[in-house]
Chains A and B, each alone.
Chain A
Amino acid sequence: MRNAMIIDAKDNVAVAIEAIAKGDTVTYTCGGEDVSLTALEDITIYHKLATRDIAKGEPVVKYGEHIGIASSDIKAGEHVHVHNVEGHRENLEAKE
């Protein structure tokens, strides 16, 4: 059953669209195909989990854009939120 979703193929986090318990199979659709992984923690509905390992200092990507920087190593299936992500102001005008 699909219980999570990603917004952009570049995303490294998925959003739980149902409450997910530790050990549950998480399934989301990417490019028309179902992708599954195992939740390493309970994930509250509409919160995020990592879809792949994210090293400390790497950008966290949702909507295909950077939403912050991992403040610790995050494993695929772990809850991604304020405890392991920091906001980071980028100079987006210079990046254009």
Chain B
Amino acid sequence: MTFYGYKRPDGRVGVRNKVLILPASVCASDTTRIIAQQVVGSVTFNNQQGCSQVASDQQLTMDVMAGYAANPNIYGTVVVSLGCENCQMDLVVKAIQERTNKPLKQVIIQEVGGTLKAVDIAVRYAKEMVAEASLLQKEEFPISELIVGTECGGSDPTSGLAANPVIGEMCDRIVAGGGTAILSETTEFIGAEHILARRAATPEVHDRIFEIVHRYEAALRLVGEEVREGNPSPGNKAGGITTLEEKSLGCIHKGGHSPVNAVYDYGKQVESKQGLVIMDTPGNDPSSVAAMVAGGAQVVVFSSGRGSPTGNPIAPVIKITGNKLTFAKMEDNIDFNAAPLIYGEKTLEELGDDLLNMVVETACGKQTKAESLGFTEMAIARVCNYV
């Protein structure tokens, strides 16, 4: 199976062709918004971090920034920093260049003489980059070039009964085709981590799966909090999910049935042609999706029983529900209906094929519902409070 995508100079293949206006910190985020508004074909996001962070916290921010710039859906990046933030321009540029050799420009607001001058310079850089990007022609590539991220949010019992198993079938097909699928959301392995650990390809991966779950629980306990506070959410419970363990046992179906070949830390670069891998991310959707996209996922498949609108600035996010009422009510937000599995109208195999086709169509350029609505919300995971 093949798709049409954009070959990047670092050898990776993108499914979109955008220019990223990257804010190095919260203090550059309003400026990048103004820049992106002036340049059709560019994207940006609201970076709430980048300064006043301890080292481990700053590392998460740096990994997402560098990973976003390196994501193959991005043609090139204009980094905009204020100048005095912890995520200094030279650090951000170095982190990006460690991941990719794609076009890169930089503007430091305090050095060029304020917001208006920075906007002028960055808009001209970005317009030039968009013009270069627009000359690129798509080429045909095997699906082994795809890294597909998986996510569930606003879950209800149909997520575990239908939507997540269908995502799992699709992942099995991506893995069989030589590609990569990422299972994420460590807080939603809790109570199901033993099932994933049994599927670990090596003893090291087995131990890492238990380690990331225990580490997450311990981190919350350090600040006197319990992972069960707020999880399951009120919406999960109204939908019929009773406990975190029940939510987790539904969540892990997204990974399908392949061996787990690796466990990646938050936002780290995922190698292509890896089969099924895990990334250590929060259950919080925008920050988990951000980590997988930073890891190189070109497409994300996202299940939601209640109906989540979440998109992403860089990767198309395909929405799937197993709840027939939600699909009827929120068709403007949901791309794929997995409910026929519950009612015996379609088999898991048929729906897995259908979803794989939708992933390939999306990779070829078809807009998702979240893209057509212009939804680009995102967040970056945190270790602790600002300093």
Contact = CB atoms under 8 A, between A and B. Distances in A.
B245 A67 contact: yes
Interface in A65-88: 65-68, 80-82, 85-88
Contacts of B214: 93
A47 B197 contact: no
Contacts of B161: 5, 7, 15
A5 B194 CA distance: 25
Given A17-B343, A89-B191, A65 B157 contact: no
B159 to A, nearest CB: 10
Interface in B138-183: 156-158, 160-161
Interface residues of B, number: 32
A95 B323 CA distance: 34
Contact of A63 (B237, B239, B250): B250
Contacts of A45: 325
- Chain A interface: which size bin? 20 to 34
Contacts of B228: 87
Interface in B194-249: 194-195, 197-198, 210, 214, 228, 237, 239-240, 242-246, 249
Interface in A35-79: 44-48, 60, 62-63, 65-68
B191 A92 contact: yes
Contacts of B158: 46
A89 B240 CA distance: 20
Contacts of A93: 193-194, 197, 210, 214
A33 interface: no
Most-contacted residue by chain B among A17, A48, A95 (CB, 10 A) = A17
B194 A96 contact: yes
Contact of B242 (A2, A5, A68): A68
B251 to A, nearest CB: 11
B191 A46 contact: no
Contact of B191 (A5, A17, A44, A67): A67
Contact of B157 (A48, A66, A96): A48
Contacts of B192: 65
Interface of B: 156-158, 160-161, 190-195, 197-198, 210, 214, 228, 237, 239-240, 242-246, 249-250, 305, 323, 325, 342-344
User: 5 tightest CB-CB pairs across the interface, nearest first?
Assistant: A87-B243, A67-B246, A92-B194, A47-B240, A63-B249
Interface of A: 2, 5, 7, 15, 17, 44-48, 60, 62-63, 65-68, 80-82, 85-90, 92-93, 95-96
24 contacts: A5-B342, A7-B160, A46-B156, A46-B157, A47-B157, A47-B240, A48-B157, A48-B240, A62-B246, A65-B245, A66-B191, A67-B242, A67-B243, A68-B242, A68-B245, A81-B237, A81-B240, A81-B242, A82-B237, A87-B228, A87-B245, A92-B191, A93-B194, A93-B210
